Structure 1
Amino acid sequence: MPRLVAPDPRFRISFVAAMAEFAAADEFFGDTLARELTLYGDDWRTDRGFARYVAALEDEAREEGARPAGFVPATWYWYVDGETFLGRIQVRHRLTAFLRDFGGHIGYGVRPAARRRGHARAMLRDVLPYARALGLDEVLVTCDVDNTPSRKVIEGCGGVLEDVRGGKLRYWVSAGCIRGGV
């Protein structure tokens, strides 16, 4: 059964295959995947190098951790089924002016080969208690105005549309634990 886990080196082969799928589909999570490929792509080839990448992700979550200039602390979760990497979701611990307008607290992606199976909705639903544990009563989640699948995911998790800014739909989602029919 699919579940959220902390990034873990044991998923290296499946993770690398998923990142290749995203790159082939020209999907780079804004510039996140392009940045990761530049900084860590060579590391992904070996178990030891991939473990360094996972440690860097863990470091980004700490207030004093290393991360790109202007980035806020953020925690990554991977969505896996057995040893298969299905997607990833990030919870940004606070908002900057840019994130308030365009990025939000949460960003997610499901690998192309695993789409249209409800994984994105499950990931968003399942990460909300983690956001709540960070002290976030509600989270801002955005998507492009023409991204109907993502809009449906957010609305399916109780997202309430606030407005549209710069081509982004901006939704607020309660970070209270939601279960059941969502």
Structure 2
Amino acid sequence: MRIEAASVLHSHAYTDYFQQCRAAGCSHYRDSDDSAAVFYQRVLDRAAGRQLPPGQLPTETWFALDAHGVILGAIRLRHGCTPFILDHSGHIGYEVHPAARGRGVAGGLLAYVQRHGAPQLDGGWLMTCDDDNAASQRVISRAGGVLLTATAQGPGEPWLRFYHLPARRC
């Protein structure tokens, strides 16, 4: 597995990834009516700080890729602090292609961001996940995430909020 910043080089591989993640109900994709191409252009624009919606901040995206360039997972790092980031999305969001789950992809992506991403709050980041997502809770905890709160994003949507420290840089 290799990890690369999202770029135009990944546009073709992104279509399948987008469709599979949307079909699996990944929250990052399920509420969008956009095509994979439109959605991916937004990923590239946000990384460059272009065409940001009100209240949104630049967001870097990296992909975990297999030897054939198939996207196994994605991780996003939102730069800065807004009420939405602090109270809802957190600084880091990720998902794994349904066929690649249970293979260490999320942990590898999170370890990469710990080493290479710019820390936000007091040298760390906030992360959130659904309270019924035991796999994500394990990934975040194994990487040093500390549970801060358990609350609800909306009616019937319980979630957990973690503080996460970056790994030591050598």
**Same fold (TM > 0.5):** yes
Pick aligned residue for 1:110 from 96, 110, 115: 96
Q: Which residue of 2 aligns with 1:27?
A: 26
Q: Which moved more, 1:76-85 or 1:147-156?
A: 76-85
Partner of 1:47: none
Name the SS for the 1:132 alignment partner: coil
Query: Does 2:91 correspond to 1:100?
Result: no
Residue-by-residue CA offset, 1:140-164 (whole Å, 9 max, x unaligned): 1110111100000000101111111
Q: CA RMSD in A?
A: 2.5
CA distance in 1, matches of 2:147, 2:121: 22
> What are the ranges of 5 or more consecutive residues in structure 1 without an aligned counterpart?
45-49
Give the counterpart letter for 2:112 in structure 1.
Answer: D
Residues 131, 33 of structure 1: CA spacing in aligned structure 2 closer, same or farther, 3 A cutoff? Answer: farther
Name the count of aligned residue pairs: 164
Q: Deviations over 1:62-91 (max 9, x none)?
A: 45x222222111111111122111111100
- Aligned residues of 2:131 and 2:159 also touching (Cα < 8 A): yes
Contact in 2 for aligned 1:101/1:165 (Cα 8 Å): no
2:155 is matched with which residue? none
Give the whole-Å Cα distance in 2 for the aligned partners of 1:136 and 1:62: 24
Shift, 1:28, TM fit: 3.4
Structure 2's unaligned 5+ residue stretches are 153-157
Summarize the Cα distance change of 1:145–1:133 in structure 2 as closer, same or farther, 3 Å threshold: closer
State the match for 1:177 in structure 2.
168
More displaced stretch, 105-114 vs 161-170 = 161-170
Any idea what SS the aligned residue of 2:27 has?
A: coil
Return the offset for 1:165: 2.3
| One-letter code aligned to 1:75 | E
Q: Which runs of 4+ in 1 moved over 6 A?
A: 133-136
- Tell me the percent identity: 29
